[in-house]
Amino acid sequence: MPGSNDFFLQFIRLAGPYWNSENKAVIRQQTLFLILLTILQIVLAVVITEWNSALFNALENRSMSDLLTQVGFLIIIFLASMAVTMAHLKMKRQLQIGWRNWLTSKVLGQWMTEGKHCQVLHIHTSDHDNPDGRIAEDIRIACDEAIGLCHTLVYSVLILISFTKILWTLSGTVILDLGIFETPIYGYLVWIALLYAFSASLLGWWVGRPLTVHTNALQTAEANFRFGLVKARENSLAIALIHGEANERSHLFGLFQEIKHVYDYQTHAWANILLFNSGYSVISMAFPVLVTAPRFILGSITLGALMQSVQAFQQIASALSWPVNNIAGIAQWRASVERVLGLVKALNELDQESSRPDPQRIQIEKPDQASLELQDLCILKFNGEVVISAFNERINMGDRVLISGDAARAAKLFKAIAGIWPWGHGRIILPDSDPMFFMPPRPYLPDGTLRTSICYPAPDSAFDSTTLENILRLVGMDEFIAQLDQNDSWEKALSREEQQRLGIARLLLNRPKWILLQEALDSLSPQDEIDMMRLICQELPDAGILTYTNQPSVEPFHDRRLHL
């Protein structure tokens, strides 16, 4: 866990540029308006204490006219308070969602670009697990709580300034007789309030320290459990087919037990805080009256002044107790910020590794040529273990090359060509301006209509219905023509064979000049695999094709064969 100074600097560097972003004029106006509304809240708080003093003076004097006057003032205060509170809430939420939108866009843009979301999984030097939870939940907490805590802090400071002056005036001067000599004490209630609140804050902060650690650990455990559930849901068919429910149940229950374990620690920390707060709230209710009452009994102040002094004392104590009152919020905010910083740190480390000249990085080049070249290519695992060494190959436009052998090596080779596996050395020279079309064993199918899944990553409007219908007929998916505009989770609705056929349909729609097939037909029958390979060669006769498979049926469609 970084130190406090370092932590705040990291957070400011990450999220602070929001106030200097593209819409900085609007953002700064919103911030200024929020501060002005906070000042109005302070003004209303002061006015309420003045009204409270006048009300009790009217009651003490048994004056009906003064009482009715205070009722009229109460209506005005009531309406003004509602208007200020409503405007403040709306402005605060606008600032919160705007900040969250900006920071989400920033982190999401850094994560979901050029394969970083895939590469970061192999970085082990930073805490960055469950990036989905960090982006969706922790950024929300980091922004919402930061603005909420800043508002309450500013409010407390202004309250402290405003009511210290009021309480100082109401305290008057008390003569302290020490026997030998007498000394006047000015504003004695202020000094008692400061000592009272400082002692309580110090004790409360010490009691609440463990909550930060346990809150961070609990959020991590919750994210792990949530990720495990999502993974089980996404692979429910595979789990059901091999009857792996008992294993998954045990695994998920183990993840939940980790939550329970940390939860118990957090409960103990919460119990200590609540124990302190319960006693503190009782004392806070009675203590101001007890220290103020002697002056009222002696006739030095009116009943109204007594009640105003009590309220001012409570306001000052409350303002000085801001750290105690916000222990839980600060703990949750810091835990979430640290999780966001952990993800950003991992992405920054990945950017630094990719950009620096390093002999242990594969060099990707795009000169003006029409061929794919692998020159002295050596591919390493993240731990430095060699996967492929001294690999040299040149694939020209229209060549069809079959790769067989170890699947893991082939997967690393395809990732290296795609630019998402930089670990190794050597050169990969890509054909400039000719995008490559990668077909993994199972194509990614986004939720939505079938039309969306086929056209992905292009928008639905990129291809007309007639073209889509003809493509579906070519790949043997005629029965799905009527379902083009049907919404479904197609990743679950389609069998693996149907998903691979849909991947071929997507390939034929895009008509690329370079195709990399990674076991993209392995779920088809041998004859269907031959038919689909023949279809690809007929529809895209000039495309360069690099195929990885260990199935012998498609070998005749290739010019040469490489074995890994």
Last residue of a domain, one of 296, 321, 355: 355
Instruction: Identify the CATH number of the domain in which residue 447 sits.
Output: 3.40.50.300
Report pLDDT for 176.
64
Two structure tokens written together for 220? 């991590």
- 389 shares a domain with 329: no
How many C-beta atoms lie closer than 10 Å to residue 495's C-beta? 10
pLDDT tens, residue by residue, 101-130:
999 999 888 888 877 777 776 665 556 667
pLDDT band at 1 (very low <50, low <70, confident <90, very high): very low
Reported residue count of the chain is: 564
Domain harbouring 66, CATH code: 1.20.1560.10
290 and 424 assigned to the same domain? no
Per the structure, the complete domain to which residue 468 belongs is given by: 363-563
Question: Phi/psi of residue 23, each to 5°?
Answer: -100, 40
Q: Can you give the pLDDT at residue 299?
A: 73
DSSP string, 318-335: HHHTHHHHTHHHHHHHHH
pLDDT per residue as tens digits for the range 187-230: 777 888 788 777 777 777 777 677 767 877 887 888 888 888 88
For position 42, what pLDDT does the model report? 92
Rounded Cα–Cα distance for residues 57 and 63 (Å): 9
**Helices (H), ranges, 404-446:** 407-418
Split into its structural domains, the chain has a count of 2
Task: Tell me how far apart the alpha carbons of residues 53 and 308 are, in angstroms, rounded to a whole number.
Answer: 5
| CA 7 to each of CA 322, 338, 339: distance values in angstroms, whole numbers, following the listed order | 20, 8, 12
Question: Domain ends where: 355, 389, 418?
Answer: 355
Give the separation between CA 3 and CA 470, rounded to whole angstroms.
Answer: 62
282-329: pLDDT as tens digits: 776 777 777 777 777 777 777 777 888 888 888 888 888 787 778 778
Co-location of 324 and 186 in the same domain: yes
Using CA atoms, how far apart are residues 414 and 417, in angstroms rounded to an integer? 5
Q: Which of 250-254, 323-327, 497-501 has the lowest mean pLDDT?
A: 323-327
Kindly write down the DSSP assignment for every residue of 435-447, as one continuous string: -EEEE-SS----S
Given pLDDT bands bounded at 50, 70 and 90, which one contains residue 145?
Answer: very high
Max avg pLDDT among 78-92, 313-327, 402-416, 431-445: 78-92
Please state, rounded to an integer, the average pLDDT across all residues of the chain. Answer: 84
> For residue 24, how many other CB atoms are within 10 A of its CB?
12
Q: Is 184 helix (H, G, I), strand (E, B) or coil?
A: strand
458-492 core/surface letters (b: 16 or more CB in 10 A; e: else): eeeeebeeeebeebbebbbbeebeebbeeeeebee
Q: Which helix (H) or strand (E) holds 509?
A: helix 496-510
| DSSP E strand boundaries for 258-404 | 363-365, 371-380, 386-396, 400-404
Of residues 54 and 287, more confidence is placed in 54
Same domain, 262 and 400: no
Given a contact cutoff of 8 angstroms between Cβ atoms, the answer to whether 153 and 319 are in contact is no
Last residue of a domain, one of 331, 355, 379: 355
Same domain, 97 and 236: yes
Looking only at the bridges linking them, the beta strands covering 544-548 and 487-488 are unpaired
330 and 388 co-located in one domain: no
pTM beyond 0.85, yes or no: no
Same structural domain for residues 237 and 281?
Answer: yes
Q: What is the pLDDT of residues 342-371, one digit of tens each?
A: 888 888 877 776 666 666 688 888 877 788
Residue 212 and residue 160 share a domain:
yes
Tokens of 442: 């199972």
Looking at the structure, tell me whether residues 19 and 94 fall in a common domain: yes
Q: 14 forms bridges with which residues in the sheet? A: none
Tell me: do 351 and 367 sit in the same domain: no
Q: Which amino acid is at 417?
A: I
Same domain for 511 and 469?
Answer: yes
Question: Helices in 112-187 by DSSP H: which ranges?
Answer: 116-119, 131-133, 139-171
Asked if 391 and 347 sit in the same domain, the reply is: no
